[in-house]
Amino acid sequence: MAERRARPGPPSALLWAAALVLTLGAAMFQRLTGPTHPLPGTTEVEGQAVSWHLPRSGTAGDPLRIEIAAPRSVLGGTLRYRRYPAKERFQGFSMLRDETLLLGLLPAQPPAGKLEYYVVLATRSGLVRIPDERPVVMRFRGAVPAAVLIPHVAFLFGAMLLALRAGLEAFFARPQTRSLARWALIGITLGGMILGPLVQKFAFDAFWTGWPFGEDVADNLTLLAWIAWIVAVLVARAAHDPTDRFARTMVVAATVVTFAVYLVPHSLGGSELDYEKLDAGASPSEAVPTGR
């Protein structure tokens, strides 16, 4: 494979700045589009716009507080819910009024347990459903210690920064490609393959719920990015020249894979409690498809 001399390209500081902007942009996109981010919306009630943010994540073992702004024209409200994806009827109860709010509590569930719910407001003109189409699906998770969660997030986004920087270094055929690729692999290994399973264990009582034991999207995508960087680092290491074209191509490819992985909302297709197994007598930890 042909080799290429390093070319000056943009200054290193500019490449770091570009990598940082892309990393922060991906982090913001993931935060705002993830399935655990509260669902926002606005509904017209008796000619008045009512804004709401309905939670899609709760702490296992604790009821989940649901609140809706309710002007005086609202006579009352009902919180309706059922286990998800269990095929059963919705059940509900009246919400309590606290000045301008209607309050309700969804019943606590084990880790990875999901509920789907919606609110029905009673007004002088009739019933108003919030949201007006599909119910909100939320998931319970165990509490993750900050000593585990913070390093997990820091290493993952640090790895993202290094991955993007390595990709830019490779694109401009610069000599630090191999070194940056190694650091990106170290970051993904620590954040995704070591601390990630620890977070998963605290949250859902399972170290790994991706392939070949389950279908957790986040686990599978982390595994894909990790393998991509292993291949890129091995190819770069085997190259005699740090600007080898094939080695640089593999690093850029690993960068593209990683960036695409980080654009997928976190927790999408995550661990899910099997209520049929739970009802059949399995323990909550046994009712989640996992690799232990």
| Residue for token pair 């509920």 | 115
- Per-residue pLDDT, 7: 55
- Peptide bond between residue 135 and the one before it cis (omega within 30 degrees of 0): no
Residue type at position 102 = L
Helix (H, G, I), strand (E, B) or coil at 23: helix
- The rounded distance, in Å, linking the Cα atoms of 53 and 255 is 35
Q: Cβ(63)–Cβ(145) under 8 Å?
A: no
| Residue for token pair 């739970």 | 278
Each as own residue / partner, the long-range contacts of residues 147-153 (CB below 8 Å, 24 or more positions apart, any chain) are 148/195, 148/198, 148/199, 148/202, 149/199, 151/190, 151/191, 151/195, 152/191, 152/195, 152/196, 152/198, 152/199, 153/191
- φ, ψ for residue 32 (rounded to 5)? -80, -20
| Distant-in-sequence, close-in-space partners of 251: CB < 8 Å, separation ≥ 6 | 166, 167, 169, 170, 177, 181, 232, 236
H helix runs in the chain, sequence order: 12-33, 146-171, 177-188, 195-204, 217-238, 245-263, 275-279
Joined tokens for residue 153? 């997030």
Expressed in angstroms, the distance from the first to the final Cα of the chain is 43
* Tens of pLDDT, residues 88-147: 999 999 999 988 899 999 999 999 899 999 999 999 889 999 998 899 999 999 999 999
- The rounded distance, in Å, linking the Cα atoms of 279 and 230 is 42
Q: Cβ(96)–Cβ(104) under 8 Å?
A: yes
- Per-residue pLDDT, 209: 76
Residue type at position 199 = V
- Per-residue pLDDT, 46: 86
- Per-residue pLDDT, 132: 86
- Per-residue pLDDT, 211: 76
Task: State pTM to two decimals.
Answer: 0.79
Closest CA to 80 of 72, 37, 88, 47: 88
Strand partners, 210: none
Domains and CATH numbers, the chain: 12-33+144-279 (no CATH), 39-141 (2.60.40.10)
Query: Which residue ranges in the chain fall short of pLDDT 70?
Result: 1-8, 214, 266-270, 289-292
Joined tokens for residue 286? 């046994």
